[in-house]
């Protein structure tokens, strides 16, 4: 953030906070409680979690107010760079005894004018069937993380598992704050993606699934209707054999549309 913008933002932040203190008649004891909460959140390493739960969806909304194409979504606190670059047929890394149902996530990546984007990169990460993320639990890295590209027609398909909805950590300061506010701490099941291609604006998004009980009350307030897909179950033995499986599986599809780079960003990307 450049200095003039930083100074203006900080001044506004302090002014608005002082207004709220006056409006709600905050006492010195209550003020010290708030300061203590922030200190505790920092010591617990929960500042990113706290900010992402309460503020990131608004940042996404503001930054992409004029965005054309598929809806964007929050990144969240569980992204790790440099996920493995996968080879076809694409499958996210899993444990030998990975729990959960098999999911094939497929679709296309196109520009807003309908042009298929060959070689578009998708960086996909997700929680496991219990909602646990590799690198942030006892799930080893790089389980359920991977990068892969579209084919010449802009198509992709990757094998993974159906993720589980999950409760954000509740034992620490953020969880206790939610409880004090009378709010639950659940996120609906979802897939995270970053999509990039030389000719379009990169996006970060999430894919959700119809029927999840937490869709309408996501603790992170990040669900957008345009990102909810159907999980189609395939139970016919012949379908399973065609996929070299011995059990039912699910298919979910989403067709991404990305907007062209602005001239300034295209020039910056070129060099």
The per-residue DSSP string of 32-101 comes to: HHHHHHHHHHHHTT-HHHHHHHHTHHHHHHHHTTT--SSPP----TT--SS--B--SSEE----TT--S-
Q: How confident is the model at residue 265, as a pLDDT?
A: 58
Structural domain tally of the chain?
1
Using CA atoms, how far apart are residues 199 and 187, in angstroms rounded to an integer?
33
Residue 63 included in any domain: yes
Sign, Cα dihedral of 221, 78, 156, 140 = negative
Residue 5 domain flag: no
Give pLDDT, residue 271.
53
**In whole angstroms, what is the distance from residue 5 CA to residue 79 CA?**
27
Q: What is the pLDDT of residue 4?
A: 87
| Residues 6+ away with beta carbon under 8 Å from 173 | 37, 40, 41, 44, 46, 50
- Domain with 125, as residue range(s), is 44-270
pTM: 0.92
pLDDT for 73 equals 98
Q: What is the pLDDT along the chain (271 residues), one digit of tens a residue?
A: 888 899 999 999 999 999 999 999 999 999 999 999 999 999 999 999 999 999 999 999 999 999 999 999 999 989 999 999 999 999 999 999 999 999 999 999 999 999 999 999 999 999 999 999 999 999 999 999 999 999 999 999 999 999 999 999 999 999 999 999 999 999 999 999 999 999 999 999 999 999 999 999 999 999 999 999 999 999 999 999 999 999 999 999 999 999 998 755 554 555 5
The whole-number pLDDT of residue 270 equals 54
In this structure, is residue 8 part of a structural domain? no
User: Cα separations (Å) of 213 from 49, 228, 231, 236?
Assistant: 22, 13, 14, 27
From the number of C-beta atoms within 10 Å of its C-beta (0-12, 13-18, 19+), residue 244 rates as exposed
Residue 92 lies in a domain: yes
Q: Which of 56, 29, 60 is nearest to 47 (CA)?
A: 56
In a domain, 255, yes or no: yes
* CATH code, 201: 2.60.130.10
Residue 33 lies in a domain: no
């Amino acid at each position: 953030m450049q200095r003039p913008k930083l100074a203006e933002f900080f001044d506004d932040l302090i002014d608005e906070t002082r207004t709220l203190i006056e409006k709600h008649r905050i006492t010195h004891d209550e003020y010290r409680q708030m300061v203590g909460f922030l200190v505790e959140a920092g010591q617990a390493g929960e500042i990113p979690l706290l900010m992402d739960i309460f503020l990131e969806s608004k940042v996404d909304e503001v930054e992409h107010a004029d965005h054309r194409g598929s809806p964007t979504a929050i990144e969240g606190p569980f992204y790790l760079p440099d996920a493995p670059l996968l080879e076809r047929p694409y499958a996210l890394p899993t444990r030998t005894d990975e729990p959960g149902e098999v999911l094939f996530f497929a679709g296309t990546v196109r520009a807003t004018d309908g042009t298929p984007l060959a070689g578009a990169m998708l960086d996909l990460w997700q929680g496991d069937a219990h909602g646990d993320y590799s690198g942030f639990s006892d799930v080893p890295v790089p389980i359920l993380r991977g990068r892969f590209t579209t084919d010449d027609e802009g198509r992709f398909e990757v094998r993974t598992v159906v993720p589980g909805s999950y409760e954000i950590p509740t034992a620490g300061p953020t969880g206790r704050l939610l409880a004090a506010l009378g709010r639950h701490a659940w996120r609906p099941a979802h897939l995270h993606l970053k999509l990039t291609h030389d000719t379009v604006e990169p996006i970060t998004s999430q894919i959700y699934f119809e029927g999840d009980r937490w869709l309408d009350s996501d603790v992170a307030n990040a669900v957008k209707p345009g990102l909810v897909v159907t999980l189609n179950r395939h139970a016919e033995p012949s379908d399973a054999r065609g996929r070299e499986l011995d059990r039912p599986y699910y298919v979910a599809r989403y067709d991404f549309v990305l907007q062209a780079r602005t001239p300034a960003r295209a020039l910056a990307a070129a060099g």
